[in-house]
Structures are given as C-alpha cells and as structure tokens.
Amino acid sequence: MKPTRQRLRLGELLFGRGGRHVTPDMLYREVNEGGEAISRGTVYNTLHELTRAGLVRQIGVRGGMTFFDTNPSTHHHYFIDGEDRLLDLDGPGLDIAAMPELPAGYEVARVDAIVHLRRKRS
C-alpha cells in the first residue's frame, strides 16, 4: 500500500489506541470530525486493502453491517443488539464440545462466534 497522507491518518485512527472494532461509517465520521476531508470511498477502499493485507479482519454482523477489527487473529465476539457495539469475548471463550458432522470433503478452517447480547429487563 502506498502511504498517502489520507491512509496514514486512517491508520493512526485505527491502530493508534489499541484494539478497535469500527464500521466504515464510524471511521468516516471520526476522520472528518478531525477536520480532514476524506471521502467515504477512500475509507472503504483503505479498509478493504488493510483486510487483504491481513492487518485488519472483516466481521459481518447482520444485515449488511460490517465491522473491521484491528486484531486480525481468530477470536470470538459479543454484539450488543440495539447499541450496535462489537466487543471481544475474552477469557477461555466458547466451549464447542460437539461439532456437527461436516459435509463430505470439508474441514473446519476456524470458528468465529458472535454472541448477541441485550440489556436485561429490570
């Protein structure tokens, strides 16, 4: 990737404060709040290039909502319905004891789980 000024600014926002989960829209709003004029197209393209380079991981949550995770390793997530927030599921993670029989000719490449949460009703 060519390090243009716009890409460097996006990289700073993405990687400058630890692990993040952002949607293209969140990143677009953030970068433009900072006074920088960067188009939605540039934000999308940069995120997809970073994904292809293995620096971020794309996570589809539901109905076309896509997050980009600055931690590209395999890990599970919580998604908070109604707040549109994606959080890392830390700790021992999920115990998937019984894997169903797989289609013939296939093996498990990885298991990415998203546990959907909602606030308890009091």
- Given the rule CB under 5 A, which of 25-33, 46-54, 84-92, 100-108 is the region that contacts Zn ion? 84-92
- Is 88 one of the binding residues for Zn ion (CB under 5 A)? yes
Site for Zn ion in 32-71 (CB under 5 A): 69
8 or 115, CB closer to Zn ion?
Answer: 115
The vertex-53 CA angle with 113 and 67, nearest 5°, equals 40
Give the list of residues 6+ apart from residue 59 with CB closer than 8 angstroms, or none.
21, 66, 67, 68, 69, 77, 86, 112, 114
- 5 is written with which tokens? 């000024």
- Given the rule CB under 5 A, which of 1-9, 43-51, 88-96, 106-114 is the region that contacts Zn ion? 88-96
Provide, rounded to whole angstroms, the least separation between the CB of residue 70 and Zn ion: 8
Size of site (CB under 5 A) for Zn ion: 2
Provide, rounded to whole angstroms, the least separation between the CB of residue 2 and Zn ion: 27
- Is 27 one of the binding residues for Zn ion (CB under 5 A)? no
Site for Zn ion in 97-116 (CB under 5 A): none
Can you give the binding site for Zn ion, defined by CB under 5 A? 69, 88
